[in-house]
């Protein structure tokens, strides 16, 4: 018997935030059995991790932000971070951080996340070699920051991860407690070439240079995709679990279709789903009627006939305009 009765699979057609979709977990090496604990305040965390420790520093950068999450989790591992990530993957976190910033642990964590289709990893590097080692890893965000004592990875996750999914792109955003760097064109092009993110001074203020993952996909796009998956699974589960019976006929199939539509409309309202000309949302929902569903699936009470599509709203990261001066 599966632990999950409803599964939403999203295939990408291209060569109100849910609890947990903004929560970070900090993975830290510690002697003993792997452990997982959540903290609602920095002072509560400091009771277990003293001021100045790697965990406390990351958490401090998170809690300092205006849009900080409701909780920060800490997960421990004795030797292998991947084992701990697998053990606690089902907990209510969405962004993983590596407390010690060690390249070997970052690469191991990125390798683990590369094989997943849900949740993210954010890491901070301060050398070209460490940055390049993580290039192309899926679902990993590389923050290139060389200022000692600052944690750009934690600050960005802390401020942007918990905002309404779909409402923000990560590029251009300013963060508390992070110093902007004055990079020349060659330096920023090198960082961009590895699909990493720096905190640079532009227009007189510090801001994130980009909003992408190490493989070049955009954070807000995949965060929105994860939100659609989580919300739709919840909506369909609620539909199935809060009625005396969901018939395997037009009534039950219609209820599932309505649940799918609810999620997509909510995603449109949040900014995940694009708007078509005329103001209509760019999504569609299709459900197969009972007589087109495989008879074996009907016998097993498994409905596989629902599908949907939506257009990403995306974001404008650069603009080019032209003008004419009349004499």
Pairwise CA distance, residues 290 & 305, whole Å: 9
Handedness of CA 139, 145, 148, 149 (dihedral sign): negative
pLDDT value at residue 40: 95
CA neighbor of 22 nearest in space, from 55, 69, 88, 61: 69
pLDDT value at residue 2: 61
pLDDT value at residue 10: 56
Quickly list H helices, 118-273.
128-134, 152-160, 185-193, 219-241, 250-270
Could you tell me if residue 270 is left (phi over 0), alpha (psi between -120 and 50 degrees) or otherwise beta? alpha
> Helix or strand or coil: residue 208?
strand
pLDDT value at residue 11: 56
- For the stretch 52-71, pLDDT in tens is 999 999 999 999 999 999 99
Q: What is the pTM of this model?
A: 0.92
pLDDT value at residue 18: 39
* End-to-end Cα spacing for the chain: 77
Beta-strand relationship, 36-39 and 140-144: unpaired
Pairwise CA distance, residues 149 & 126, whole Å: 12
pLDDT value at residue 14: 40
Pairwise CA distance, residues 132 & 289, whole Å: 50
pLDDT value at residue 179: 98
Distance of CA 10 to CAs 13, 72, 229, 294, Å? 9, 28, 7, 22
Distance of CA 231 to CAs 8, 161, 165, 188, Å? 10, 16, 11, 37
Residues of the chain with pLDDT under 50: 12-18
CA angle (181 as vertex; 135, 209 as ends), nearest 5: 50
Residues 49/55, Cβ–Cβ less than 8 Å = yes
């Amino acid at each position: 018997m599966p632990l999950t009765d409803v599964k939403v699979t999203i295939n990408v057609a291209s060569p109100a935030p849910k609890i947990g979709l903004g929560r970070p977990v900090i993975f830290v090496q510690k002697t003993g059995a792997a452990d997982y604990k959540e903290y609602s305040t920095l002072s509560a965390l400091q009771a277990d991790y003293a001021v100045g420790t790697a965990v406390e520093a990351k958490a401090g950068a998170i809690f300092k932000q205006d849009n900080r999450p409701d909780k920060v989790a800490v997960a421990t591992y004795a030797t292998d971070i991947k084992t701990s990530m697998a053990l606690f993957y089902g907990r209510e976190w969405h962004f993983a951080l590596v407390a010690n910033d060690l390249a070997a642990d970052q690469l191991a964590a990125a390798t683990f996340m590369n094989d997943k289709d849900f949740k993210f990893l954010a890491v901070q590097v301060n050398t070209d070699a460490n940055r390049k080692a993580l290039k192309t890893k899926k679902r990993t965000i590389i923050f290139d920051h060389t200022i000692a004592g600052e944690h750009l990875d934690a600050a960005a996750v802390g401020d942007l991860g918990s905002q309404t999914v779909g409402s923000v792109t990560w590029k251009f955003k300013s963060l508390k407690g992070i110093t902007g760097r004055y990079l020349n064109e060659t330096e920023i092009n090198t960082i961009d070439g590895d699909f990493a993110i720096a905190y640079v001074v532009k227009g007189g203020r510090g801001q994130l240079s980009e909003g992408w993952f190490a493989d070049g996909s955009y954070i807000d796009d995949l965060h929105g995709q994860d939100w659609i998956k989580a919300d739709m699974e919840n909506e369909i589960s609620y539909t199935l679990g809060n009625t005396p019976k969901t018939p395997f006929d037009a009534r039950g199939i219609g209820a599932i279709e309505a649940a799918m539509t609810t999620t997509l409309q909510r995603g449109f309202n949040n900014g995940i789903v694009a708007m078509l000309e005329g103001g209509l949302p760019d999504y569609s929902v299709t459900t197969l009627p009972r007589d087109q569903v495989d008879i074996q699936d009907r016998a097993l009470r498994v409905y596989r006939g629902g599908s949907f599509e939506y257009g990403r709203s995306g974001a404008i990261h650069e603009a080019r305009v032209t003008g004419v001066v009349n004499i």
